[in-house]
Amino acid sequence: MEKRLTFVLSASPYSGQTAATALKLATAALAAGHRATIFATADGVYGFVKGQQATAVFDVGGAAAAFLARGGAVDL
């Protein structure tokens, strides 16, 4: 049975593990056949800015692009 999940992300992309964890959970929900949406607010919207270059940390921008390409949704 498909479920709809919404994740709220308000943390900046590289200030800790919050953005990475939200994207990993939302991507896992998609992989399990559910509908996943990330509601990005405040600094959380910066994770969805195109062209970010991450070095030596989890690539939030790349993960965000992959999440969207798999059919995930983002509300800003």
At residue 73, the pLDDT reads 96
User: 30 lies in a domain?
Assistant: yes
User: 55 lies in a domain?
Assistant: yes
- Residues 68/50, Cβ–Cβ less than 8 Å: no
At residue 52, the pLDDT reads 80
CATH number of domain containing 56: 3.40.1260.10
**Structurally, how many domains does the chain consist of?**
1
Give the separation between CA 27 and CA 70, rounded to whole angstroms. Answer: 8
User: 74 lies in a domain?
Assistant: no
Model-level pTM?
0.85
User: 49 lies in a domain?
Assistant: yes
At residue 36, the pLDDT reads 97
Query: Three-state DSSP class for 5?
Result: strand
Those residues whose C-beta lies under 8 Å from the C-beta of residue 15, and which sit 6 or more positions away, are: 43
Torsion, Cα of 33, 57, 62, 39 (10° steps): 60
Q: What is the pLDDT of residues 22-60, one digit of tens each?
A: 999 999 999 999 999 999 999 999 999 888 877 888 999
What integer is the mean pLDDT of 2-29?
Answer: 95
Q: Tell me the residue range of the domain where 47 lies.
A: 4-68
User: 53 lies in a domain?
Assistant: yes
User: 14 lies in a domain?
Assistant: yes
